[in-house]
Amino acid sequence: MNPSWQARHNLTLGQYQPEFDALVGQGFRLLDLNGYSINGVDHYATVWEQSQGPSWVARHGLTSQDHNSLFQTLPAQGFRPVSVSGYDRAGQPRFASLWQKIPGPAFEARHGMTPEQYQTAIDEFTARGFRPVDLSCYLDGGQVRFAAVWDQSLVPGWVARHGLTSADFQTEFTRLTGQGYMLWRVNGYEVSDGTRYAAIWVKGPAVTWQARHGLSSADHQSAFDALVARGYRLQKINGHTAGGQTSYASIWNKPYLSDDDEKFIRQTVTTFLSAHRVPGASLALADSERLIFARAYGVADPATNAPVTTGQLFRIASVSKPLTAVAIFRLIEQGRLTLNDRVFGTGAILGTTYGTRPYGTNIDQIRIQDLLEHTSGWAHAQDPMFDHLELTQRQLIDWMLGRDASGALNAPLSHTPGTTFEYLNFGYCLLGRVIETITGLLYENAVRQLVLAPCGITDMHIAGDTLADRRSNEVVYTQQGSVGPYGIRVSRMDAHGGWLATPTDLLRFLVRVDGFTGKPDILSAGSVATMSTPTTARTPSGDPTGYAKGWITNTAGNRWHDGDLPGTAAILVRTNGHQCWAVLVNSRDDAQLDAMRTEIDNLMWTVVRHITDWPANDLF
């Protein structure tokens, strides 16, 4: 679950320390500390999170001399300043600071600077390769002073401004946001003719964020409540005096989905599970190639009521086909294969290894592309993968290419290769044997080397057939129809339906072959485009199909694959809107199979349309 967090503002000196002690006692750690003055009286605002993190030290109410002493002692102990704020107590400067014991580049800090000295320091430190990472504006004897921290961390770009009126700040905010900058720090301070703002903007990874300024205490609380309801978390808060009243500026980001989003997802998934009598489900959702959500619901094993976890493996059925297709394209890019290579016959990839010669008409014309696009020429009704359970993989291929006792072909082609689309699991079984022949490895090991390892995946496997074959972190499958989940030859289905995976690992794979630019693909853009181009062949009734090479596509630019077996169902989706998801369940509603297939497809579309603000975090 997402870590709990707390925020406080408008705490007096007497309120701050008891609140500090109480939150520390509950296991919270301080993420941001802002000391500020309202008419010469110090106040405090804080942000806390209940999570593990680096060692930290916080100090407040320090004189300039005591504050300076911290910079002589804490860095030697491995601490770095992450937040420094100066404020006025009865006309005298005081300082509060938060330090964390974390590694990092060289840093420098200054305080007591006039605006002119602050600008000079920016120029000098910039020339030495430093950038400002924290700043504070405060009064010392009624005069504006700056405190700031610089370090040598690298970002694509940064901008620092000070002395901005509220209108100027908003203009600069709009301009820089439009150029891809995000607000990193903002401080308000009062001068003789009104409020001024100093701020730092940075360019970096895409982050979902919001900022507010010029808010009264009541308006800040209203904004707080509204943003929290949308899943935002307060990152930085700055209190200051404006016209004798308290004013707040704040920066927020959204690392997780909101509680409302999570509740909606939970209700949507549990409604689906109940409607189809499915014990458990696991799902993962990514936006812009960032994993933003992974959850499991229900039970992994109804016999024990053990809950499903996101780390448990599920059979993924025909979602295995994209893995096989990507392995084929990896071999094509290595120059070891082409889409036009023939599969059977003298000089072809598999040669005459299988079956009985002479082969039937046009068997030797089947190409790699035909197997990928389900246009090999065999009809769907001829698919043998759920029959002849007594045969090994080798024997099954021999049978498909062989003849009976009378000499008649067991499975003559129904169409000329490349002309007609008929979904055929057997075609992907053959692609598995092609991969083995080209690489000299077992199919599972070849895909692990060609596809999974480059994607950072280490826990995907070919499934076993029986309950005794179940892996230690695999769910149990529940039978609903006449065929049980442990009476089928799943291992024989390796290249078309045999893999085990978690939803998160499926997304690790998908974001590396999605054609988007956030994470580098393991295929070239040209290969991804070819793989995603639908076949021109039509169904026997003359309809276009949208099936590409291991993927189903539509004109909206989406591609996906779904699949199911007795006891399991799965779907993997990549949308043109840069969202991707995987859903895996541990039963199949055989009595309402068409409805279940439709609803497992609709499930995450319903969720995605509900989410209005996408989180910034990447859980990969």
Do 183 and 590 contact (CB within 8 A), yes or no? no
Lowest mean pLDDT among 217-231, 262-276, 290-304, 557-571: 217-231
Over residues 373-429, the pLDDT tens digits come to 999 999 999 999 999 999 999 999 999 999 999 999 999 999 999 999 999 999 999
Confidence (pTM): 0.83
Residue 534 is encoded by which pair of tokens?
A: 């639908």
pLDDT score for 1: 66
DSSP string for residues in 117-148: HHHHHHHHHHHTT-EEEEEEEEEETTEEEEEE
Q: Which of 476, 456, 452, 480 is nearest to 464 (CA)?
A: 476
Do 169 and 197 contact (CB within 8 A), yes or no? yes
Q: Is the pLDDT of residue 531 over 80?
A: yes
Q: Which architecture, in CATH terms, is 260-610?
A: 3-Layer(aba) Sandwich (3.40)
Q: What's the mean per-residue pLDDT of the chain?
A: 95
Average pLDDT over residues 442-463: 98
Between CA 171 and CA 265 the distance in angstroms is 38
Residue 324 pLDDT class (50, 70, 90 cuts):
very high
Q: What's the one-letter identity of residue 345?
A: G
pLDDT score for 4: 92
Do 459 and 505 contact (CB within 8 A), yes or no? yes
Residue 133 pLDDT class (50, 70, 90 cuts):
very high
Map out the domains of the chain as residue ranges: 5-255, 260-610
Provide the percentage of residues in the chain whose pLDDT is more than 90: 92
Provide the percentage of residues in the chain whose pLDDT is more than 70: 100
